[in-house]
Amino acid sequence: VEGFTDLHCHVLPALDDGSGSMEKTRKMLKMAYNEGIRQVIATPHFYPSRKSATVEEVQETLRKVQEKMKAWDFTIRLYAGNEIYYHSEVPELLENGKVGTMAGSRYVLVEFDPMTEYSYLRDGIFKLDSYGYIPILAHTERYECLFDRKERLQQVKEQGAVIQVNASSIKRGLFDEIGKRSRYLIKNELLDVVGTDAHSDGKRSPKIREAADYLYKKVGKHRAEEILFANPKAILKDKDIR
């Protein structure tokens, strides 16, 4: 069984507001393993305007976790990445190796302020694309500007953005706005990949099974496996997902 790939996870210890210790990392990865996750791209936050872990620090911390894992009773493949808060200088930082892509690919996980203007988000995606990167739009369900006028969702996809939704958002309550947006993306075949956006082994934990079951039920086996397996595999292999 190839298992799920978590493309959005704050699991590396003491690098951001995610795991605070190696023991917390172990608990998070064990929970991910029990959910059926077998590959994780660790995506610590990167903010151009304030101190963030360097690419070298991310790689070194990842190596330490891999070394510790040899003594654990489970194994998950770990890859380095970043969740990058977009700023106009981000493409240049990527070019200069100051921030990480997803597992060394052309793909970059990029986030914006939830209340950002559409023109800023659109221009950021365009600029990343113009530099040869493929932006994965982190937790797309949060961006007001894309749901104020839903035709913008198709527009950003046509610009080259990959649409990511948090697994925990999909099964929110029937009247929860974030949940409704997530399900809208699924129903209208706009969703490309799911990530856990896990920050702990508690409330924001690396759970994906319930979201996966929902996808199988709502969109069928072929489409669910495209979202859950084929598209993440393409990202890891640096291939186009469409």
pLDDT at 132 over 80: yes
pLDDT at 25 over 60: yes
pLDDT at 14 over 80: yes
Can you say whether residue 14 is alpha, beta or left, with left for phi > 0 and alpha for psi between -120 and 50 degrees? left
pTM of the model: 0.97
* Interval 11-28 mean pLDDT: 98
What share of the chain has pLDDT > 90, as a percent?
A: 95
Res 174: pLDDT:
82
CB atoms within 10 A of CB 50: 8
C-beta separation of 235 from 107 below 8 A: yes
Confidence of residue 49 (pLDDT cuts 50, 70, 90): confident
* Interval 47-54 mean pLDDT: 93
Amino acid at 224: A
Please give the structure tokens belonging to residue 16. 């951001």
Res 173: pLDDT:
84
pLDDT tens-digit series, residues 75-117: 999 999 999 999 999 999 999 999 999 999 999 999 999 999 9
Res 58: pLDDT:
98
In the 3-class helix/strand/coil scheme, how is the chain assigned residue by residue? Answer: CCCEEEEEECCCCCCCCCCCCHHHHHHHHHHHHHCCEEEEEECCEECCCCCCCCHHHHHHHHHHHHHHHCCCCCCCEEEECCEEECCCCHHHHHHCCCCCCHHHCCEEEEECCCCCCHHHHHHHHHHHHHCCCEEEECCHHHCHHHHHCCHHHHHHHHCCCEEEEEHHHHCCCCCCHHHHHHHHHHHCCCCCEEECCECCCCCCCCCCHHHHHHHHHHHHHHHHHHHHHHHHHHHHCCCCCC
pLDDT at 242 over 80: no
pLDDT at 1 over 60: no
What is the residue-averaged pLDDT of the chain? 97
pLDDT tens-digit series, residues 61-80: 999 999 999 999 999 999 99
Measured between alpha carbons, how far is 110 from 184 in angstroms, rounded to an integer? Answer: 21
Res 187: pLDDT:
97
Res 72: pLDDT:
98
End-to-end CA distance of the chain: 24
pLDDT tens-digit series, residues 154-188: 999 999 999 999 999 998 988 899 999 999 999 99
Measured between alpha carbons, how far is 14 from 199 in angstroms, rounded to an integer? Answer: 11
Please give the structure tokens belonging to residue 50. 């304030």
Measured between alpha carbons, how far is 185 from 161 in angstroms, rounded to an integer? Answer: 14
Res 52: pLDDT:
96
